Structure 1
């Protein structure tokens, strides 16, 4: 049975979501604040997390980032905040989708199933600390400056678009992991914006022109045919 952790402090919303998801045959556990949610990730090991951004003890965006360091389980943000900047920030910090309250339960179920179809079932907890911007060992010739949102290639700052930086960030932080085009689309824009597979391929082509010595024979951004892309740190 698929396990869903709901982090929601509003009793009415929380009880309604728990009841609905339980009726849909999900194993649901609710946490009423951020600390309880972080604890439940270890104890419950959810397959998917529903995270409210407004909690009594935690700033939602910070909590989203903390959760992403603990587990690779998909995160769906549920929030009354509906600005584009909030959505972009949440997706940048590791969320997989963003739903504005109030929302349809049927749509929520559809989005949950859409995400779970792309994610292998099993333990989602990281068995060892994953790289973070502070601890990541970058390749000798390529760096990401997270504070200034710069791409540095062989010592030179390279101009990149918003989407190119977000794609590079996603791939760069998990060397060797293969990301599907759907995952890349969600990391860049989310479900509610028009970004298709072709657009992702164009961004990848442009990134290769900026970071590869020979873009026609890429050594960093590799294509996994029929699925997506991965970032490689070439051995020296």
Structure 2
């Protein structure tokens, strides 16, 4: 059974999520502080996390950082923090989706289902191994391993944030193809973005700086009036 960890100190929200998610047949773990969330993740099989930011003991930002150190489990941030800076920070920390309270429960369920399509919990070992191989790209002098959330240049690790790794992986996999900002939001962030596309530009610029800093032969080019593409030198 697919299991979801819900981390929120608002008991009314928890009851609402419980009603809708149990109706979809999911197994739920409900906790109300960051420390308890980490305890569940260490001891239970969890396929997805729904995470608030303003939590007792350990806040949601710190919980997210700790999760990403040990797991690539999908994280949906569910919070009343609706500033653009909060959303950008969430995606930089590796959040897969960001929903602002108050929210429509049916939309949340739809987003949960979309995220769980990528969960490999029910694959056989052979198929999981095959999938793991497809999640590693070796192109030019760069390797991106999505199983470990690592990027390496000639064997040396490049310090990238989770969302930067996801963006690099997508651009490498689709090298020489031009993508608009909206397409990158859909393909990498995977959500219907409400607002401007500044977050794409921020991540592209940071990724460029880090790749140039290690003398990578990958180059992210701006196609003026359209978007971005990744090219390989040499």
Using the TM superposition, give the Cα deviation of residue 39 of structure 1 relative to its aligned residue in structure 2, in angstroms: 1.1
Q: Which residue of 2 aligns with 1:122?
A: 121
Q: TM-score, normalised by structure 1?
A: 0.60
- Structure 2 counterpart SS, 1:28: strand
Aligned to 1:59: 59
Greater helix proportion: 2
Q: Specify whether residues 140 and 2 from structure 1 end up closer, same or farther in structure 2 by C-alpha distance, changes over 3 A only.
A: closer
Q: 1:193 to 1:45 in 2, by over 3 A?
A: farther
**Is residue 42 of structure 1 aligned with residue 42 of structure 2?**
yes
Instruction: Indicate the residue corresponding to 1:151 in structure 2.
Output: none
CA–CA separation in structure 2 for the residues paired with 1:46 and 1:116: 11
Contact 2:149 2:165 in 1 (8 A): no
From 184, 189, 193, the equivalent of 2:188 is: 184
Does structure 2 conserve the Cα–Cα contact (< 8 Å) formed by 1:6 and 1:50? Answer: yes
Q: Is the 8 A contact 1:98 1:190 kept in 2?
A: no
Query: How many angstroms apart in 2 are the aligned matches of 1:94 and 1:169?
Result: 9
Q: Which residue of 2 aligns with 1:224?
A: none
User: CA shift at 1:68, angstroms?
Assistant: 1.6
Distance 1:178 1:50, change over 3 A: farther
Distance 1:178 1:74, change over 3 A: farther
Instruction: Note if contact 1:4-1:29 (Cα within 8 Å) is conserved in structure 2.
Output: yes
- Is contact 1:3-1:27 (8 Å) kept? yes
SS of residue in 2 equivalent to 1:77: strand
The CA deviation at 1:191 is 3.6
Question: What residue is the counterpart of 1:69 in the other structure?
Answer: 69
Distance 2:99 2:113 in 1: 14
Alpha-carbon distance in structure 2 between the residues aligned to 1:68 and 1:111: 20
Shift of 1:131: 6.3
Unaligned runs of 5+ in 2: 123-146, 175-182, 220-228
- 1:61 CA drift (Å): 1.1
Regions of 4+ moved over 4 Å: 129-132, 136-146, 166-169, 177-183, 218-221
TM-score by length of 2: 0.61
The CA deviation string for residues 60-84 of structure 1, in whole angstroms up to 9 with x for no partner, is 2121111122221100001011000
Gap regions ≥5 residues in structure 1: 124-128, 147-165, 212-217, 222-228
In 2: Cα distance, 1:30 partner to 1:178 partner? 37
RMSD (Å) for aligned C-alpha atoms: 4.5
Asked if the contact 1:7–1:52 (Cα under 8 Å) also holds between the matched residues in 2, the reply is yes
Q: 1:110-145: CA deviations, max 9, x gaps? A: 11112222x13218xxxxx9567xxx7654899558
1:76 alignment partner, SS class: strand
For 1:1-236, list aligned pairs within 5 A.
1-117=1-117, 119-122=118-121, 130=148, 139=154, 168-170=164-166, 182-186=186-190, 191-193=193-195, 220=218
